[in-house]
Amino acid sequence: MKVSLAALLFLAWTAEGLAAQDSTTPAEGMRLLRQMETAARALNYSGTFVYKHGGQIETSRIWHLTDASGDYERLETLDGPPREIVRTNEEVTCFYPGVKKAKVEKWAARRFPAVVSEQMSAIMSNYSVRKGALARVAGHDCRIAVLEPRDSLRYGHVFCAEVKTGLPLRASTVNERNEPVEMFAFTQVQIGGAIAREQLQPSYDVRAPGWKVDQSSLTPSIETDLRWTVLNRPAGFRKVLELKRNIQGKSAAQIVFSDGLAAVSVFIEPAVAGTRGSQELSHQGAINIFIRPKSGYVVTALGEAPASTVMQFANSVTRVNSTP
């Protein structure tokens, strides 16, 4: 069996993180995680990183600026069809120039290098943290941090944080067999310093002829009574949001759960009349997706968690005040 050089590097990087470890107190682990979270949010940085999942490698360029007026970011994909993501504080615009479409939505998902959330207590409840030895990524010394799940409901994570600032330079996700599921890593990065405002501006003008702007996701209806619930959700995940949104012209309920690091979203939408749905499980990198029919509706659960966890969410969905 032939193994690509990229795959060998991916395996070596992950093995390095899992093997290099020393004793770490919970307080030390929390300090390291907090430093990583703060650095990704508060520092100026720019660079090029790769994303590997399965046999695919994607390259992107990123610029991030934080100042007194707000938090700004632009991400440009360098492989495949052109795509660009521009964020101003909590508002994100995704540009798809191939079809002249822009989609505006609220920022929800974590993106590299902002891989750690502010929910430190939840993270420490669901994962143990070990500091490892020094490593080197993109010409910078970094400290390895290993997050081991306390149960089989979630993936493990291996980070390498730049020693001076704590900015994550590499992030790997591993399954229960310590096999790599996906990996992000800078190949070149500049930390700190000034970033010109022009570099944060989108490359595309949506006012140009032929462009369409979709803002349907920008103002979803926040709900506290969707008439749907998840009775037997996996331990350690708490509900962080529930809302109604419009998906391809149909109203759908969405419930979001998080364990402090990983997030799982559950969507419930009416089934298309005259169709008979079937169960379907698929994945992309660390994201597992499970679709199943439910009494005239379609339930879709997706998130950065093992397939069994995502399936448990979908199979536990039920109407409120009805028999499961």
* Largest pairwise CA distance in the chain: 60
Query: Helices (DSSP H) in the chain: which residue ranges?
Result: 5-19, 26-42, 120-126, 307-315
C-alpha closest to that of 98 among 242, 259, 211:
211
The pair of structure tokens assigned to 9 is: 């590097």
Residue 29's pLDDT is what? 77
Residue 245's pLDDT is what? 74
DSSP structure string for 253-300: EEEEEESSS-EEEEEEEEPPTT-----EEEEETTEEEEEEEETTEEEE
Which residues, listed in sequence order, are joined to residue 255 by a DSSP beta bridge?
A: 242, 266
The pair of structure tokens assigned to 143 is: 């400290």
Residue 6's pLDDT is what? 46
Which residue is it, tokens 């619930």? 229
Residue 1's pLDDT is what? 40
Residue 114's pLDDT is what? 92
220-319 folds as Phosphorylase Kinase; domain 1 (3.30.200)
Residue 251's pLDDT is what? 76
C-alpha closest to that of 234 among 273, 263, 268:
263
Distance CA 303, CA 89 (A): 23
The structure's pTM equals: 0.85
Q: Give start-end residues of each CATH 2.50.20.10 domain in the chain.
A: 5-200
Does the domain at residues 5-200 carry the CATH identifier 2.50.20.10?
yes
Per-residue pLDDT of the chain (324 residues; tens, 9 = 90+): 444 444 444 445 555 555 444 556 777 878 889 999 999 999 999 999 999 988 889 999 999 999 998 999 999 999 999 999 999 998 999 999 999 999 998 876 678 999 998 888 899 999 999 888 899 999 999 999 999 999 999 999 999 999 999 999 999 999 988 888 999 999 999 999 999 999 999 999 999 999 999 887 766 555 555 688 999 999 999 999 888 876 666 778 899 999 999 999 999 998 887 676 789 999 988 999 999 999 889 999 999 999 999 999 999 999 887 544
Q: Give start-end residues of each CATH 3.30.200.100 domain in the chain.
A: 220-319
